[in-house]
Amino acid sequence: MEANVENAVINLKRFKKRNEREQSAKQADANRAHFGRTKSERALDKKRKDRASQFLDQHRIDGGDAS
């Protein structure tokens, strides 16, 4: 019976490392989805942001205190 117990001993580091690699891969996939935008998508967002900023600047009331 002791021989069966000795054969059942496993190295937990291997399983821990595998789990960490799987978690890292999941995080990498999430980051790719969140941050991985094409150049045209980034340019479109920049254009929209600049246009909104210009719109606000055009409608700004210059002068003293606005309150």
Q: Is the pTM of this model over 0.95?
A: no
Give per-residue pLDDT as tens, 2-54.
555 567 777 899 999 999 999 999 999 988 877 888 889 889 999 999 999 99
pLDDT band of residue 1 (cuts 50, 70, 90) is very low
Question: What residues does each domain of the chain span?
Answer: 2-58
Angstrom distance (rounded) from CA 52 to CA 62: 18
- Phi, psi dihedrals of residue 61, rounded to the nearest 5°: -95, 115
Lookup: tokens for 15: 């399983």
pLDDT band of residue 64 (cuts 50, 70, 90) is low
Taking the C-alpha atoms of 3, 7, 9 and 13 in order, what is their torsion angle to the nearest 10 degrees?
160
Q: pLDDT value at position 33?
A: 79
Q: Is 65 left (phi over 0), alpha (psi -120 to 50) or beta?
A: beta
CA 28, 31, 33, 39 torsion: positive or negative?
A: negative
